[in-house]
């Protein structure tokens, strides 16, 4: 079977990247804008989202510690998260300086990087296969995928979006390095790739595990057989050193959040859950159970990965390895699952998906290509419409939750415009009565709302804490009555 690479493609009008780029009727004029606009339109609603759950934590640290101490804690991994993710932390700091407690700047930045990743993925698939239509499929599979719903809905998920952008940048630079005609050009691309990988690690230290992807790409796309293995090993060495150094540093200090939640009890369940959802992006079980659809989805994806790697374009192997490595860090988190983690593996799925489409197209006789295209267009339109529907439907939870936080913020600021440091605000009957909110989230909310040293709790009506709050006769007690927050006692002015 013919393998789809830029060197042997003869069946499409975009037979080589260079020829396609020179064509007056370049397919990129249709396919690239289609992918970018569809992605942007689908994700625009996230611009209206407010803060959600632990989004308040980094902003609280800015308020409490000040700029200098906050930056130092980011660098030394002593922040509350704690992960070594200084680039997202600096983004939050810049957003706070620009807009205060308004999440719009971060959401704009995240959407811009997401659309940028779509463009990078398009370029990567086109550059390595010469198929603009396949590049468009890959870009849409990534850009519209509901598997990672929530990744663009929370402020604190900027780490995922930034890491994916820099990973794709690194991979493109690696491919260009492998294919460069001169040593000088290769070294320039290699330096750019290493710098981009450093930015990846500064966005999400867990992506240190991805360095084998770049080694495989260097070996796969180097066109010169003489010395290929040695050359690829030498060029891949900086990525391996950075990867092992990052992993070793966090293993030694135990300062990473994962050091407290990792376990091997549910590894196989997690593998089925995550890879199954990646293929069938509906539902998300707890680690203790796996649904039948996701079992079949995981098996189907594994078969596609194996088949595409065996007989598909070279980039398919890169996509398959990408999926395996990007999923790996999260299968050891044994107490919960989160769909947002799949944002990191979604580019791998997009590459494999496009590779399978190329295999099918190459298997068809030339006389059937036009008919196949006519049939494929509505099928892909149906798939991506379903993707969009699932994204909107599954994002409703985040839209509703962020609206709850916005209303809660508006209510407490109306009732208590100013609160002095050292005060505990007590709310009865609010939307955040669960225990997990009381530990870090609501205290962070209070400090970002009124300043350092202020705390807030939300009590269940009729509970003992609620009764104690009422009898305390504190001017900082308020209760929800018929949907409206009412102060119970006195004047809450400081």
Mean pLDDT, all residues of the chain: 89
DSSP conformational letter for 26: -
Closest by CA to 122, choosing from 53, 222, 184, 37, is 37
The rounded radius of gyration (Å) of the Cα atoms in the chain is 25
Residue 117 predicted with pLDDT over 90 = yes
Q: Is the pLDDT of residue 121 over 70?
A: yes
SS3 call for 488: coil
Instruction: Summarize the confidence of residues 141-159 as an average pLDDT.
Output: 94
**114 compared with 490, residue with greater pLDDT:** 114
Q: Is the pLDDT of residue 240 over 90?
A: yes
Spatial distance between the Cα atoms of 416 and 207, rounded to a whole number of angstroms: 43
Q: Is there a contact between 313 and 358 (Cβ–Cβ < 8 Å)? A: yes
Give yes or no for residue 382 having a pLDDT over 80. Answer: yes
d(CA 416, CA 428) in angstroms, rounded, equals 14
Q: Is 315:351 a contact under the CB 8 Å cutoff? A: yes
Rounded to 10 deg, the angle between the 183-203 and 158-179 helix axes is 170
In this prediction, residue 435 carries a pLDDT of 87
Q: For 474, phi and psi rounded to 5 degrees?
A: -70, 140
Lowest mean pLDDT segment, chosen from 249-263, 266-280, 398-412, 427-441:
249-263
Residue 5 has a pLDDT of 43
Q: How long, in residues, is the chain?
A: 494
Here the tokens at position 404 are: 């709850």
What's the pLDDT tens digit per position in 71-82? 998 888 877 776
User: For residue 257, what pLDDT is reported?
Assistant: 55
Give the H or E element holding residue 481.
strand 477-481
Q: What is the pLDDT of residues 18-69, one digit of tens each?
A: 444 444 568 899 999 999 999 999 999 999 999 998 899 999 999 999 999 9
Query: Could you give the CA distance from residue 283 to residue 268 in angstroms, rounded to a whole number?
Result: 18
Q: What's the first-to-final CA gap in the chain, in angstroms?
A: 78
Q: What is the mean pLDDT of residues 422-430?
A: 93
Residue 186 has pLDDT above 50, yes or no: yes
The three-class DSSP label of residue 352 is helix
Given this model, what pLDDT does residue 256 score? 56
Spans of all domains in the chain: 17-399, 418-487
CA distance 152 to 145: 12
Output the pLDDT for position 4. Answer: 39
Average pLDDT, integer, range 278-291: 93
Structure confidence at residue 78 (pLDDT): 79
Helix (H, G, I), strand (E, B) or coil at 288: coil
Please give the pLDDT value at position 12. Answer: 42
Read off the pLDDT band of 254 (50, 70, 90). low
167, 347 Cβ separation under 8 angstroms: yes
Would you state the structure tokens that stand for residue 155, as one six-digit string? Answer: 């402020």
Neighbours of 469 (CB within 10 A): 23
Rounded mean pLDDT of 177-192?
95
- Identify the pLDDT of residue 491: 60
């Amino acid at each position: 079977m013919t393998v789809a690479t830029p060197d042997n493609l003869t069946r499409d009008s975009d037979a080589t990247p260079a020829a396609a780029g020179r064509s007056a009727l370049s397919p990129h004029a249709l396919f690239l804008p289609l992918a970018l606009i569809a992605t942007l339109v689908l994700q625009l609603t996230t611009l209206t989202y407010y803060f959600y759950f632990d989004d308040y934590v980094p902003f609280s640290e800015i308020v409490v510690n000040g700029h200098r101490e906050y930056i130092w804690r980011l660098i030394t991994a002593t922040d509350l998260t704690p992960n070594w993710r200084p680039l997202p932390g600096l983004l939050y700091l810049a957003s706070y300086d620009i807009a205060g407690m308004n999440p719009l700047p971060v959401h704009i930045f995240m959407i811009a990087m997401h659309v940028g990743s779509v463009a990078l993925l398009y370029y990567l698939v086109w550059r390595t296969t010469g198929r603009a239509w396949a590049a468009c499929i890959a870009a849409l599979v990534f850009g519209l995928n509901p598997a990672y719903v929530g990744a663009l809905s929370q402020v604190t998920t900027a780490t995922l979006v930034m890491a994916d952008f820099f990973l794709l940048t690194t991979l493109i630079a690696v491919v260009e390095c492998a294919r460069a005609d001169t040593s000088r050009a290769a070294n320039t691309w290699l330096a750019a790739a290493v710098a981009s990988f450093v930015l990846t690690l500064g966005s999400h230290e867990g992506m240190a595990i991805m360095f084998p992807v770049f080694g495989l790409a260097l070996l796969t796309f180097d066109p010169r057989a003489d010395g290929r293995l040695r050359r690829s090993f030498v060029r891949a060495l900086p990525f391996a050193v950075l990867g092992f150094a990052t992993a070793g540093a966090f293993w030694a200090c135990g300062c990473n959040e994962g050091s407290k939640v990792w376990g091997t009890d549910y590894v196989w369940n997690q593998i089925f859950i995550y890879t199954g959802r990646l293929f069938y992006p509906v539902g998300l079980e707890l680690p203790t159970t796996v649904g039948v659809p996701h079992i079949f989805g995981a098996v189907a994806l594994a078969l596609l990965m194996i088949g595409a790697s065996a007989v598909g374009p070279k980039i398919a192997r890169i996509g398959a390895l990408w999926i395996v490595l990007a999923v790996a860090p999260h299968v050891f988190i044994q107490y919960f699952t989160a769909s947002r983690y799949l944002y990191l593996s979604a580019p791998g799925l997009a590459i494999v998906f496009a590779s399978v489409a190329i295999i099918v197209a190459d298997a068809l006789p030339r006389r059937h290509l036009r008919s196949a295209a006519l049939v494929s267009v509505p099928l892909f339109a149906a798939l991506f419409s379903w993707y969009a529907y699932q994204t909107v439907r599954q994002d409703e939870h985040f839209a509703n939750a962020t609206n709850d936080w916005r209303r809660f913020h508006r209510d407490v600021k109306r009732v208590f415009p100013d609160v002095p440091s050292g005060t505990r605000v007590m709310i009865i009957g609010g939307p955040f009565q669960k225990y997990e909110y009381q530990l870090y989230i609501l205290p962070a909310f209070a400090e970002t709302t009124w300043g350092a040293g202020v705390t807030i709790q939300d009590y269940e009506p009729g509970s003992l804490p609620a009764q104690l709050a009422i009898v305390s006769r504190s001017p900082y007690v308020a209760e929800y009555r018929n949907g409206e927050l009412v102060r119970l006692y006195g004047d809450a002015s400081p």
